[in-house]
Structure 1
Amino acid sequence: MNTAEVYRIDWLPGTDVLHGVCHCGAERTAQDPVELWQWMLAHPEGHSPAPPQKGTAE
């Protein structure tokens, strides 16, 4: 079975802002979709994983 890396970009309603989440858990916001995709595809450069949420195993 093959697994794929998942990248997600959501639009923040009521704004011109996009919210991107890399497969590593790093997050970033930007108004320019090209800037956001370049950041995601540059992984791991400029990425640091999101901190673990309370109540989750590390």
Structure 2
Amino acid sequence: MSAPTGEVYRIDRLPGTDVLHGTCRCGAEHTGDDPVGMWEWMLAHPDGHRLPEGGTAR
């Protein structure tokens, strides 16, 4: 197991929907319905946070 980095990534499900809302450690936000796509978007930091197909930026 690796040591904690102190970086915080947050993914919440918007109430009453199947929509996920993610917040990267840099403060960028993204919504989408694909959990794998959400993690790919977050872990792409800092490479521009390319949005997965169907995703929206906030």
- TM, length-normalised to structure 2: 0.72
- Alpha-carbon deviation of 1:13? 1.1
From 6, 9, 13, the counterpart of 2:15: 13
The corresponding residue for 1:23 is 25
Secondary structure of the equivalent of 2:30?
strand
- TM, length-normalised to structure 1: 0.72
- Alpha-carbon deviation of 1:35? 0.2
Unaligned runs of 5+ in 2: 50-58
Unaligned runs of 5+ in 1: 48-58
The percent identity for this pair of structures is 74
Alpha-carbon distance between aligned partners in 1 of 2:41 and 2:21, rounded to the nearest angstrom = 12
Runs of 4 or more consecutive aligned structure 1 residues displaced over 4 Å after TM superposition? none
Larger Rg: 1
